[in-house]
Amino acid sequence: MSGKKFFVNHLFLRVLIISAFACCLPFFICFSETKSISFEEGERVIIFAPHPDDEIIGCAGIIQECLSKKIDVYVVFLTNGDHNQFAFKAYTRRIILNPSDYIKMGQVRKKESTSAAKILGLPLENLIFLGYPDAGTLPIWTKYWNSKQPFENFLTRTRYVPYPDDVSFGNAYLPENIQADLTKILLKIMPSKIFVSHPADLNPDHRALFNFVQLSLLDCRGKINPEVYCYLVHAKNFPKPKGLFPEQTIKIPSEIEKYGTCVNFFLTETQEKNKLVALDCFKSQLIGRKNWTFSFLRKNEVFQIIHPVLFVKNNSSEISIDAQSQEEISEEESLKHTKLYNLRLTYDQQDLVFQFLYDKKVIEKEFGVKIYVYGWKEKIPFSLMPKIAVDIKMDGTFTVYKNEKNISVKDISIKKTQNTFTFKIPYSLLDEPDFIFVGGESKLGLLTLDYFPWKVIDIE
């Protein structure tokens, strides 16, 4: 018997024994009664993955369930995952890699997802690779609308999709291209269910993909109306406990639960076994994080239903967004810096009023907070709609950008107190949109400290 077969068989013997006891525990009885995802004959499903491996980490059970019910399921990869420096250097055993090496590693990761798909029984023609830049899609979302110059990937040194076999080969790294690709895919497949990365995920590409999918869904309004489920991959102390504990369940962290309704999909023993083998396909990514990766092999896969939030233009409306820590620096180091806590949106006499709560530790000249407000309006291309960014320094100075151009601040007032900043944006400055995308972040130079997960807000 091979080592891998022994490991798998030993693992699932352990699962059977522990499960026999676990089923008697009140926790498991309670958990099994929560809402679970089910599928009907004739459905069509799309799983959107920011990088190769996210589809297996978050949705391997979903993929297998769809296939078992003869449901068409597709996986759309936003990037080929070509920006993981540490993993690539360890995998290739080379300290220095050149741009072409990173492109080759993107091809390696693509092959790993292809191998995992074969294990689950997913037809390879149902894998759609777009090849946009790993670690670049959130900057593309925030800075490159209507840009004459595409985003450049720092490691691959490319501004265009470099993978000949990817459907977006040759496309410039511009948000309009991502938007068009996703909209085309949605209208071609016409899904009844969508699984996409979570807006509160620590990985910026995961947050960006959520935004782009939500944007494309708005563009497809009236043509499709799929159920949307968000899966979480990167979060503080998630999953708990770390390591291979297939007898346990996975649960959304309490600080993220408020973003939407939690739903589960419970895997069969066979689906768990296949997920284990599929996860093991990602050799380039398991180096240094195998313990974390196999933490996602649990009895269930968990998702959240996150709808656009309704906001009525009156004085009683209020939306609140809690900040998340980016974890680019240690928790001990983060305590030395100004921290964001909460962003609140209200309405006052034709103005959108934003207030964020912060705790200033020291005077930091390079520290700033940037709040983004993007409008969407039916029958007007999103690229042409106003996109406002308010860049605030802790001394009370601020700069307002509209479509990446510095504009006059005469219509925007900012009030500073000991631990809050309040500013108003005239609704008319956004061209009176039907929906707005709202997000934000704090920066220390180029380093992101905290961020406000993006919300899609339905203006009424």
Q: Is the pTM of this model over 0.85?
A: yes
pLDDT band with cut points at 50, 70 and 90 for residue 84: confident
In tens, the pLDDT along 261-277 reads: 999 999 999 999 999 99
Tell me the C-alpha to C-alpha distance, in Å, between residue 349 and each of 104, 268, 353, 371, 427: 55, 55, 10, 21, 9
Is the domain of 64 the same as that of 157?
yes
pLDDT band with cut points at 50, 70 and 90 for residue 22: very low
Tokens 């589809």 belong to residue: 55
Is the domain of 299 the same as that of 391?
no
Higher pLDDT, 31 or 286: 286
Give the per-residue pLDDT at 32: 38
Give the per-residue pLDDT at 26: 32
Is the domain of 267 the same as that of 137?
yes
Burial 195-229 (b: 16+ CB within 10 A, else e): bbbbbbbbbbbbbbbbbbbbbbbbbbeeebebebb
Q: Which of 383, 386, 358 is nearest to 370 (CA)?
A: 358
Give the per-residue pLDDT at 363: 59
Domain boundary among 257, 288, 305: 305
Give the per-residue pLDDT at 3: 43
In tens, the pLDDT along 225-262 reads: 999 999 999 999 899 999 999 999 999 999 999 999 99
Backbone angles phi, psi at 118, to 5 degrees: -60, -40
Q: Which of 138, 19, 37, 8 is nearest to 78 (CA)?
A: 138
Q: Where are the alpha helices (DSSP H) in 33-98?
A: 54-68, 85-92
Give the per-residue pLDDT at 329: 67
Question: Which residues are within 8 A (CB) of 342 and not within 5 positions of it... i.e. 6 or more apart?
Answer: 320, 321, 322, 323, 356, 357
Is the domain of 222 the same as that of 353?
no
CATH, residue 120: 3.40.50.10320
Is the domain of 135 the same as that of 15?
yes
Is the domain of 71 the same as that of 206?
yes
Give the per-residue pLDDT at 362: 62
Are residues 353 and 424 in contact, defined by beta-carbon separation less than 8 angstroms?
yes
CATH, residue 349: 2.60.40.1190
Give the per-residue pLDDT at 332: 72
In tens, the pLDDT along 124-158 reads: 999 999 999 999 999 999 999 999 999 999 999 99
CA dihedral 158, 163, 166, 167 (to 10 degrees): 50
User: Over 90: is that where the pLDDT of 221 sits?
Assistant: yes
Domain boundary among 258, 281, 305: 305
User: Over 70: is that where the pLDDT of 14 sits?
Assistant: no
Give the per-residue pLDDT at 5: 44
Give the per-residue pLDDT at 33: 42
When pLDDT is averaged across residues 12-36 and rounded to a whole number, the result is 41
**What percent of the chain stands above pLDDT 70?**
90
Are residues 275 and 61 in contact, defined by beta-carbon separation less than 8 angstroms?
yes
Is the domain of 185 the same as that of 325?
no
User: Residue 47 and residue 127: Cα distance in Å, rounded?
Assistant: 10
- Which residue type occupies 384? L
- 148 Ramachandran zone, left/alpha/beta (phi>0; psi -120 to 50): alpha
Q: How are beta strands 261-266 and 420-426 bridged, if at all?
A: unpaired
Is the domain of 41 the same as that of 163?
yes
Is the domain of 147 the same as that of 242?
yes
Q: How high is the mean pLDDT of the chain? A: 90
Give the per-residue pLDDT at 16: 38
User: Over 50: is that where the pLDDT of 297 sits?
Assistant: yes
Is the domain of 97 the same as that of 150?
yes
Total domains, the chain: 2
Give the per-residue pLDDT at 320: 96
Query: Can you give the residue range of the structural domain that contains 334?
Result: 309-459
Number of neighbouring beta carbons within 10 Å of residue 314 = 10
Are residues 429 and 411 in contact, defined by beta-carbon separation less than 8 angstroms?
yes
Domain boundary among 305, 336, 363: 305
Is the domain of 92 the same as that of 191?
yes
As given in the structure block, the two tokens for residue 179 are: 């938007």
CA dihedral for 223, 200, 78, 141, sign (positive or negative): positive
Is the domain of 362 the same as that of 443?
yes
User: Over 50: is that where the pLDDT of 387 sits?
Assistant: yes
**What percent of the chain stands above pLDDT 90?**
77
